Amino acid sequence: MISKARLKQLAEKFGTPLLVIDHDELRKNYRMFRKYLPRVQPYFAVKAGADPAVVRTLFKEGSSFDVASMPEFDLVYDNIKKMPAKKRQQWIWDKIIYANPIKPIETLTELDQYKPLVTFDNLDEIEKIAEHAPRAGLVLRLKVSNTGAMVELSSKFGATSGEAVDLILEADRRGLVVEGVSFHVGSQTTNYQNYVEALNLTADIYAEAKSRGYTKMNLVDIGGGFPAPYDSTVRPFKELARIINSEIKRLFPKEIEILAEPGRFFVATAGYAVSKIIGKSVRDGKPSYYLNDGVYHTYSGQIFDHAKYPVKAFKRGKTKLSAVFGPTCDALDVISMAEDLPDLNRGEFVYSEMIGAYTYASATTFNGFSPATVVHVNE
């Protein structure tokens, strides 16, 4: 954990807006995941924190990677360019999954040389892969319950249980190899029953495929959704891990490889935002502060990820319910209408914690304001 004093020092040194990434926290979260889910190989979802330094740290820890675009693939591939060609190819197969179920033809054409692992969930994708990336290994994405997730995903991706095995057999008929089945229970899932239902559905698909003559599958990808501890309502990760471990042990023999795609879980608690008050006013009797960071920048997760990042003051004092706005001229740029803050002055710093996931990764330059400077500590 980075102290308030350290955050303030960094802001004074590098200026604001500032995003601080604590690599000790990245390593701690990775090791916690491996400790409590020892049979599961994590494939970090690069979209949660697409930064070369973040990828490098997790690479050194032994993480694999879930990518959803060629720029994300290249971000990971930059770490293995110096490997011998044979070892490099094996690493790609074992350590990268292209987990976007829908891929442009240009992407498939480029990916084919790497013989990658890719997901799919429909007939059209099978046709594209067969024509443009026939050397790929396939993973069928299932539609599963996302009840209780902060961000729902099954409305956009996933084959239904009724069509799943038909798709597997069709891919096989076209000369492709389906390596296994994947699912995603939704981002920041606090309903742990989603994993139980999804794992049991996956086991049913395995059994049906086997009964219909397909026996080539050897992996299960349990996706992401592992919740970050944003507040006390989020139950401990080890509780979820116990549930997952129990179901995996009961449903899948040891020779089946188990993958996962944690994103938020690795990076959320590693990020700190520090910004400066550039203006203040009283609106409808409420103190209102304008920061040089906002929802088009580090606080973008409030829109794209439905998350909230409480704004905190460095100084103490009697607090009042206050509004906090970003720097742009768009009325959408509202960080909060209800923060308990002491009386603050123009030029003072404020900060937010647990802001490392889906924030700077989706920041823009709207209105000409640049995203925060990213500073890495404890690399």
Are 133 and 108 in contact by the 8 Å Cβ rule? The answer is yes
Would you call 342 helix, strand, or coil by DSSP? strand
Residues 178 and 40 in one domain: yes
Per-residue H/E/C for the chain: CCCHHHHHHHHHHHCCCEEEEEHHHHHHHHHHHHHHCCCEEEEEEHHHCCCHHHHHHHHHHCCEEEECCHHHHHHHHCCCCCCCHHHHHHHHHHHEEECCCCCCHHHHHHHHHHCCEEEECCHHHHHHHHHHCCCCEEEEEECCCCCCEEECCCCCCCECHHHHHHHHHHHHHCCCEEEEEECCCCEEECCCHHHHHHHHHHHHHHHHHHHCCCCCCCEEECCCCCCCCCCCCCCCHHHHHHHHHHHHHHHCCCCCEEEECCCHHHHHHHEEEEEEEEEEEEECCEEEEEECCCCCCHHHHHHHCCCCCCCEECCCCCEEEEEEECCCCCCCCEEEEEEEEECCCCCCEEEECCCCCCCHHHCCCHHHCCCCEEEEECC
Q: Which one of 267, 291, 315 terminates a domain? A: 267
Residues 163 and 293 in one domain: no
pLDDT of 198 above 70: yes
Residues 63 and 152 in one domain: yes
Residues 43 and 9 in one domain: no
What percentage of the chain has pLDDT greater than the value 90?
A: 79
Residues 170 and 305 in one domain: no
In angstroms, the CA 296 to CA 303 distance is: 9
Give pLDDT tens digits for 272-321: 999 999 999 999 999 999 999 999 999 998 888 888 999 999 999 999 99
What's the mean pLDDT when you consider all of the chain? 92
Residues 148 and 275 in one domain: no
In angstroms, the CA 67 to CA 50 distance is: 10
DSSP lists the bridge partners of residue 336 as 324
Distances (CA, A) of 97 to 58, 242, 293, 311: 15, 25, 34, 36
In angstroms, the CA 210 to CA 38 distance is: 27
Rounded mean pLDDT of 116-125?
95
What percentage of the chain has pLDDT greater than the value 70?
A: 94
In angstroms, the CA 16 to CA 274 distance is: 7
Residues 67 and 200 in one domain: yes
Residues 295 and 226 in one domain: no
In angstroms, the CA 322 to CA 152 distance is: 31
Which residue range(s) make up the domain with 216? 23-267
The CATH number that applies at residue 360 is 2.40.37.10
Are 178 and 140 in contact by the 8 Å Cβ rule? The answer is yes
pLDDT of 95 above 80: yes
pLDDT score recorded for residue 247:
97
Q: Which one of 267, 300, 328 terminates a domain? A: 267
With bands split at pLDDT 50, 70 and 90, how would you rate the model's confidence at 149?
Answer: very low
Quick one: DSSP state of residue 285? T
Residues 202 and 298 in one domain: no
Q: Which one of 267, 287, 318 terminates a domain? A: 267
Q: Catalytic residue numbers?
A: 329
Total domains, the chain:
2
Q: β-strands 64-67, 40-45: how paired?
A: parallel
pLDDT of 162 above 70: yes
Rounded mean pLDDT of 4-15?
97
Residues 50 and 135 in one domain: yes
Q: Which of 77, 49, 65 is nearest to 259 (CA)?
A: 65
Distances (CA, A) of 319 to 40, 313, 338, 340, 341: 46, 10, 11, 5, 5
With bands split at pLDDT 50, 70 and 90, how would you rate the model's confidence at 218?
Answer: very high
pLDDT score recorded for residue 231:
87
Residues 261 and 282 in one domain: no
In angstroms, the CA 72 to CA 324 distance is: 33
Which tokens sit at 126? 């099978």
Are 116 and 136 in contact by the 8 Å Cβ rule? The answer is yes
In angstroms, the CA 298 to CA 356 distance is: 9
Q: Which pTM value belongs to this model?
A: 0.93
Residues 191 and 218 in one domain: yes
The CATH number that applies at residue 260 is 3.20.20.10
